[in-house]
Amino acid sequence: MHGNESTGTKAFLDLIRLFMFPNSFDWLKEIILKECTVHCIPVLNPDGAFAYTRVNAQNIDLNRDVIDMKAEESRVLQKILAQVNPSYCFNLHDQRTIFSVGPGNKPATISFLAPSVDAERSLTEGRKETMKVIAAMNDLLQECIPGQIGRYTDEFYPTATGDNFQKMGHNTILIESGHAVGDYERKESRKLTFIALLEGLRYISHSKNEVDYRRYFDIPNNEKKYLDVIVKNITLGTEKTDLGILFIEELKDEKVIFVPSVDKLENLRDYNADQFIDGTELHFIDKNDAEKWAHIHFN
């Protein structure tokens, strides 16, 4: 759906590969395929994927086009939705490194959401069914990455795909593939997204022991208290402070590069990061001076 969010596509291709060849999961595949038919759109936004942008070639965010359907891709999606009429949908996205999970503000390597159907965030039966699937996936992933699973905000977005699919009666599980420490190629979140998809399908096809939907709310909310680099105790003018750096992804010569950007100049004692640097000896005249240093230093 978003061209610069490819982890879900890779994870689903891993899932397809699992089903294509004999392996130790044959027993599980048999259970799933006996009860489920799985349809896949690996890439909804090929132009955005080629340009590594969130939007398509017409500068339209497909995740905000479900009502107006200005984009051809949105019309194709709605046509397939009507043909398949799915009981469940998996809506796959990537999320930035800024998201954390408290306490300790570990990186949110995976985040889940059962989208709302209205501004009141009503607990419809469809949302409850979605929450059960997410709770099952969370139970398994907590064994792999304890404390690194977050719950994305369930604020209602009237034009968003997931919210409207849920409203239409298609139980929609949103997965946000996030960041693990040092994993800028997202190999870890790719693996975990694959595990989440497989567990979600297992639960949907074989949910004799139902999970209590209320366990969905045991997943802590995402916070925005994670940075790529924190430089501690720099001097800015005459004051001591911290410098927080985020890497911005850009496509250059057909490769994704990470461009450092100063995101915060404040006391960051409540923040976590991939890397901490002692900045006691660093003295900057003003904010522009600090931003210039950060760009040169991390480039």
133: confidence class by pLDDT, cuts 50, 70, 90: very high
The tens digit of pLDDT for each residue in 65-116 reads: 999 999 999 999 999 999 999 999 999 999 999 999 988 899 999 999 999 9
d(CA 186, CA 258) in angstroms, rounded, equals: 13
Let me know if residue 195 belongs to a domain. Answer: yes
Look at residue 2 in the predicted model and tell me its pLDDT: 96
Q: How is residue 252 written in tokens?
A: 């250059």
Cα–Cα distance measured from residue 273 to residue 285, given in angstroms and rounded to the nearest whole number = 25
Q: Is residue 144 part of a domain?
A: yes
Whether residue 209 sits in one domain with residue 249: no
User: Do residue 275 and residue 218 come from a single domain?
Assistant: no
Last residue of a domain, one of 208, 223, 238: 223
Largest CA distance in the chain: 69
Model confidence pLDDT, tens digit, residues 87-97 = 999 999 999 99
Residue 149 sits in the same domain as residue 196: yes
Is residue 1 in a domain? no
Segment (H or E) for 91: strand 88-94
Give the CATH number for residue 19. 3.40.630.10
Share of the chain above pLDDT 70, in %: 99
Of 223, 248, 272, the residue at which a domain comes to its end is 223
DSSP 182-245: T-TT-HHHHHHHHHHHHHHHHHHH--SSPPPGGGGGGSPBEE--EEEEEEEEEEETTEEEEEEE
Asked whether residue 42 falls in the same domain as residue 171, the answer is yes
**In this predicted model, what pLDDT tens digit does every residue of 16-67 receive, in sequence order?**
999 999 999 999 999 999 999 999 998 999 999 999 999 999 999 999 999 9
DSSP 229-244: EEEEEEEETTEEEEEE
Domains held by the chain: number: 2
**Alpha-carbon dihedral angle through residues 252, 254, 255, 260, given to the nearest 10 degrees:** 20
Lowest mean pLDDT among 17-21, 185-189, 204-208, 237-241: 204-208
In a domain, 2, yes or no: no
The model's confidence at residue 232, banded by pLDDT at 50, 70 and 90, is very high
pLDDT for the residue numbered 298: 79
Let me know: does 48 contact 54? Beta carbons within 8 Å: yes
Give the whole-number percent of the chain exceeding pLDDT 90: 94
| 154 and 82 in a common domain | yes
> Are 116 and 127 within 8 A, CB to CB?
yes
pLDDT at residue number 289: 93
pLDDT of residue 207: 66
The structure tokens listed for 50 are 């080629």
pLDDT for position 206: 83
Does 215 share its domain with 291? Answer: no
Mean residue pLDDT of the chain comes to 95
Residues 68 and 214 in one domain: yes
The mean pLDDT of 146-159, rounded to a whole number, is 95
Same structural domain for residues 216 and 259? no
The residue among 192, 223, 254 that closes a domain is 223
The pTM of this model reads 0.94
Q: In this predicted structure, what is the pLDDT of residue 210?
A: 83
Distance CA 138, CA 219 (A): 8
Across 9-13, 131-135, 228-232, 294-298, least confident range? 294-298
pLDDT given at position 208: 64
Q: What does the pLDDT read at residue 53? A: 96
Tell me which residue range forms the domain holding 38: 7-223
Residues 151 and 107 in one domain: yes
C-beta pairs of 55-64 under 8 Å, 24+ apart in sequence = 55/3, 56/3, 61/2, 62/1, 62/2, 62/161, 63/1, 63/2, 63/93, 63/160, 63/161, 63/162, 64/157, 64/159, 64/160
Together in a domain, 183 and 118: yes
Structure tokens at 36: 């489920």
Task: Please state the φ and ψ torsions of residue 38, each to the nearest 5 degrees.
Answer: -105, 125
Shared-domain flag, residues 104 and 204: yes
274 and 127 within one domain:
no
